[in-house]
Structures are given as structure tokens and as C-alpha cells.
A and B are shown apart, each in its own frame.
Chain A
Amino acid sequence: MKVVIFSTCVVDLEFPNVGIAMTEVLERFGCDCYLPKDQICCGQPTFNSGYAKGTQRAFRNQIDALLSVDADYIVGPAGSCVAMIREFPEFMKDDPQYADKAREVAAKTFEFSQFLWRVLGVENAGAELDGRATYHRSCHMTRLLGESESPYALLAHVKGLEMIPLENAHDCCGFGGTFSAKEPEISRQMVDAKVGHIVDTGAEILISCDPGCLMNIGGRFNRLGKPIKIMHIAEVLNSNVDESRISYLKQMPV
């Protein structure tokens, strides 16, 4: 099956390891991956800051770029950015040129773990990672995209990985896109609360499906001089893979 990789601006600028891991996992499961070079960003940084007019070009560019390859699916490594793509039909509904395209792009875009679990029906990705980890559920992935199961389901099958529940997992880490840079005094207190809860788990590894949150929490850990290993879920599922461990769900999730 043909899959367009929606790389996201954060991965393009900061997280090559996430893009690489995602591509390798998808190819392992038979996806023929494409990376349209004109794609940039879902438009959240400016749109969510109120620059609606200034974001129109980003929306249109992203739609054209993601549809430039005739693929079956579009898969991105960020719950928040994928949730934004899913909102495109609402943003573009009055645009005669882009309304249909926006619906098309939204209908076939999935977040990485969601795609593996819900579309490909992967139960065990074959990975092995020794360590104690905790998972940060991002707000947009859970509340806007409505996906709160796939990462937990996939992580549960990683050999050697001990997952420790995170206290107050429902509280935002304080990233919030430009919020983190515009209101640093509020954001700092939020991320400190998150860091505190993560430290309390005793986990060595922090996993998430959203590079933005990882950038925020990881950057704060580093500033505070506290040890942690930052991993995107794609990197976890791409660790020490033994293909004989791979299994598929007997019943697809609803």
C-alpha cells in the first residue's frame, strides 16, 4: 500500500530520528512510503495564534503537497498535527477550490500509532526495549483526535519494556505551541508539574506520540539537569525488532 509520510515541521527541523524510525516501521509492515518535498506544516503555529489570514497559504500548500502523491493513506508522527489536518474540512468549507481536497486529505490522514493499530491491525510490532518507561498522552491526540488507546496497546507488547502509569496524565505539559514561547512564566510552571510527575514514576524513558510535547518536556529536563531518555513511539517500536515476534490483532479495534 502507498503511504505518504506527513513529516511535520518539527520532525523536519528537529527530530530526524523520529522520521527515520517511522519510515522503517511502516516499511516493515509493507508500506511503500513517499515524502512529498513541498509539504511544510499543518499551520497550527500561526492559526492557533490568531493569524488566520496568514495561515491560508500554509493550509493550501499542505493540502496540495500531501495530495501530490496518489497514496492510500497519509501518516504523521504527531497526534496534534494530524488532529489539525482532520479539522481542515471545517476551515476550508467555504473555499470552492479546496473544500473537496480538504475532505479528501482529512479522510486518509492518520497518526502513526493509530495507523499501525487501527488500520494495519498490528498487535505486536516485534520490538524489544529493556527499561522502565512512562507515556505522556498529548492533549490534542487524546481530546481533539480522540485517540487514547493505540499507543498504550502497542507499547504493552514491547518486549522488556515496563510501562509505569503517569500521575495526572490528563494535565497539559505546557507546550501549547506558541503558548510555550509567548507565556513562558505559565508554561514553565506547567512543565515543571509534568517533570515532577515523570520523575515520581522512576521511569528512565519518556515516550510520547507528539514531538512538540517531547521537545518541551525534554528541553525542561535538560535545563533542570535531570536525567531522562526521550523517545518517540516510532523509535520504541523500531528498537531491536525481531520479526518473528510480530503479530496482528484477531479483531480490529472499533
Chain B
Amino acid sequence: MGIQTSDKPLLERVKESEQDKFMQASVAKAQDAQHIKREDSRALLGNWEQWRELGEQIRQRALKYLPDYLEQFSDNVEKNGGDVFFAATEKDAVDYIEKIVKETGAKRIVKSKSMVTTEIDLDKRLLAMNKGLQLMETDLAEFILQEDDWDEPTHIVFPTLHKNRDQVREIFMKLGYEGDNDPMHLARFARKFLREYFLQADLGITGCNFAVADNGMINLVTNEGNADLTMAIPKTQIVVMGMERIVPTMNDAEILDNMLCRSAVGQKLTSYVTFEKGQVAGETDGPEHFHVVIVDNNRSRALGSEFQSILQCIRCGACMNVCPVYRHIGGHGYGSIYPGPLGAVLSPILGGYQAFQELPYASSLCGACTEVCPVKIPLHKLLIEHRRIITDQRHMQHGLNNLMMEAIGIGTGFPWLFRTAVRFGHLGLKPLASKGEVHAENFIKPEGSVKGGPGLVGGWADVRDLPLPPKNKDSFRQWFAKHKANQPQPGDQKANQ
């Protein structure tokens, strides 16, 4: 599917999300549950803020010397007997993987969860190129999405957050499931179903949580163990990773794994945290052929730019789990496989402003994402930075709202203009105001409130009442001037008597 999952306007996607009451309830429940689990698991570490600083430093160092670390990593993979391919674009990556599939004559592929393979649309492209090829997603959630005619993920850690157990049961019934909607029964069915595929697989494709530069190892973090089977059974393994997944050393990986598991799922560690480097001589498990595909796909646009810090991301999804916008519009609301605050920053970089120019505005800039990020990415500031580029550099904002914003810019720059606004605010908005009952006491005035208007005024008033500004004589400035005039002044003879 590539990065973009929908070409509908944001407003339309938002309205669709609001119709999906199950999704909204499910996201809210998950956010609230994760809130407790995440904070509890982080508290066990102690000094979380210091851990964040350490995490940030590790990621910043990896990015600062990225070319060197990538070279070191790649040399070490080759030393370990593997092959490395640097893919500049998604096409390069898919072509290379396709070539390996052809060369090995692989017919049955198993895959473990990987966002970057979704980003480059690997599954569908491989299936389109090779008729008769069998390809199975083995992460439970990704498996459900695949069997639901490649439905789109709505979260980078919980891809099926939008589906309930009845929907999953229906999907599984197409595969021969006859049981009830008990998650344990459903998971047991998937486990048995997928086991057959693992045993027959001749090629495994995995993602990569971290790539360790100084020993060429791949670090995978899962709860289901499917990634371990994907790398242990097939003769050939292809690892696909974004070029920024690098960490310098095993020590760094250990620190980041600790933070990743707590931030992503609120666990001290997930059930499986694995390091691998292909088959070790004398062992029977592990792939004989080990390939690593390192994908750029526009990541280098961020490198060296004001957006470099977004490459620090360790894909924990915590920013989605705290985002009040994500809470309501869900993953599909963003129209990108990378949703939430991370997606609103990353999607325009990877996929361009034309496709994703609305996303940086889908945020109230509340800063919950920045606060929770384990590697201290200033996400809300990067959203403002995108808005600046869209507005000041690319001039992509037009129409009445743009004019109004420019007018506010002028009105907040010249004191006399603002004083005029204070003076005439009441009269100016009066034509738009209507009388009504006062429910919000000490706020809405009996003389009326604004309930509609053009542009941004209408945007506000579509949702909420705006009190008619006070008459000039009742403004704070007028009160203060009178108040001050009545105060005894130092040296004032009368006041001193």
C-alpha cells in the first residue's frame, strides 16, 4: 500500500472515524490501559528522565555518525557471512528482494512484522510479480489484516486496534475456524494455522528493531515469537530495515530495548528479545543465506535538516498512545501507515507535502507526544516546523483562513491596531451574535454570543459559543486605567493627608 493509505481529504477521514464508534472506544480503552502500564513499568527503572537523556544521546550519536556506523555494520554483516544491499528508493529495495526470491527459487515466504516493508509495499508487489508465490504475515495482527483483504494497519505496534473479536472471528471463519470469539481460542487457531507455514517456508522476511554496528547483529523485539521462527526455520532470511535503525553497540541496544518495551507495551521486556547474525557454523537453525536490505526511501531528506531528530524514533508508538487527536480519529484518520504525532511529522518527509500537507495541522500541539517520547523527539515543535515550511516557504495556504491568519499577524504587531480591535470588538462581532440562554455562567453574557461566521470564526462557532466581547468601557484596559487613576500616587499630597 505504500505510506499513503487514503487520498481522501482529512475532514472526510475524520468524519469516517467518528462513525466507527468501536474503533474510538477501543483506542480510548487501549490508551487508558497503556497509560497505567507504561508509567508503572517506567517507574521500576527509576530516573526515567535520565534514561530519556541517555536514549536521546544514543540515538543522536547514531545519526551524527550514521554513514560511519552503517559502513561498520555492513562490514560486520559481511564478515559474519551475510550480504548487505543499500536501497535508495522503495523500488530499489523491492527489486533487490525480488531478485533474491527468484535466485533462491523460494515459493513459500513467511514474514514477521515490519513497518518498513509496509512502507515499501513489499507484500503486494512480491505477490504481483510472482504468480504462485505464497506469502504469509505471521504476526497475529498483521496476519488478521492480510486475511481481511489487506486491511490497513491503524497503529505501528497494535495494527488491529480498530478490530473487535467478532470481526476477527469472521475473518478466521473464512480460513476454516469454527469456534467462538474468545481471544484465546482465536489465537490458538492462528498459531496452529501459521505453524504449517513456518515448517514449509523456504524464505523468511523480518524487520529490524536495532542493527548493532560493532558486531553486525540484528535485534528483534516481539511478544509472539513469530520473528524467531521466521529467522530460525527458512534457509534464507532477508532483513529489511530503515537506514536509521543503527545503534553503535550491544550496550546501546540493551538500553534502548529496555526503553522500547516499556514505552511500547508497558512491559519490562517483551517475551522475545533476540539478537541474530545468520547461521553459526555447526548449528542447524538459523538461515544459511542472510541478507540485509537497508532502506533510505527519503529518510536522507531529514538527515542534516531541521527534522533530523525524527530519525531518532525507535517506533514504540507511545506518542500515539497519548495523543488526544489519535484517540478520536484513530490510525485511519491520518491516511498514512505512520499515524499519530510520529506519522504527522514523518509522513510529509517520506511521502511529500503534496500528499500529507494536512497532517501537521491535525494536532492541538498539546505536547503529550513530546513528553512521552523515550528518545526526546520534540514532536510538537517539528509539527510547527512543518507548518512553517508549508506556510512561509511553500506558500501552500490559501483562501479566507490564510487571509485571516495574515490579518492576525498584522493585528498582533501594531499596538494601535490591537487597541482598535479591543475598542471595537464588541461592535464588530455584534452583527454575528444572537441572544440565547446562558448555561456557562460567568462567561457567556445575556446580551448574546457568536454562533457562526466566516472562515475561522465559523470554525470556532460551529462547535462552541463565543461570548460577545465586552464593550470598550467594560474592558480590562479601561478598568485598569480608572483603577490606577484612583490610586494614591507617591508624592500625592491629597493621598498622604
Contacts and interface: CB of A to CB of B under 8 A. Distances in A.
Interface of B is mostly: helix
Interface in A187-204: 187-191, 193
Contacts of B406: 51, 54
B392 A53 contact: yes
B18 interface: yes
B64 interface: no
Contact of B442 (A17, A20, A171): A17
Given A48-B387, A172-B324, A219-B440, A179 B365 contact: yes
A15 B463 contact: no
B339 to A, nearest CB: 13
A139 interface: yes
B349 to A, nearest CB: 16
Interface stretch (A94-102, A109-117, A155-163, A221-229): A221-229
B271 interface: no
A223 B463 contact: yes
Contacts of B366: 139-140, 143, 172, 176
Contacts of A71: none
Contacts of A48: 365, 384, 387
B167 to A, nearest CB: 23
Contact of A218 (B386, B418, B443, B457): B443
Contacts of A168: 32
A19 B459 contact: no
Interface residues of A, number: 81
A31 interface: no
Contacts of B371: 143
A220 interface: yes
A161 to B, nearest CB: 15
B464 interface: yes
B408 A45 contact: yes
B414 A214 contact: no
A51 B439 contact: no
A220 B463 contact: yes
B412 interface: yes
Nearest to A18: B476
Contact of B465 (A139, A222, A229): A222
Nearest to B28: A193
A46 B409 contact: yes
A67 interface: no
Contacts of B467: 14, 215, 219
Interface in B175-191: none
8 contacts: A13-B425, A20-B479, A40-B415, A183-B362, A190-B324, A193-B327, A222-B439, A230-B440
Given A45-B412, A231-B442, 16 more contacts: A9-B412, A37-B477, A51-B405, A140-B367, A170-B322, A171-B324, A172-B324, A188-B462, A188-B463, A216-B464, A219-B449, A221-B440, A222-B436, A222-B449, A228-B439, A230-B440
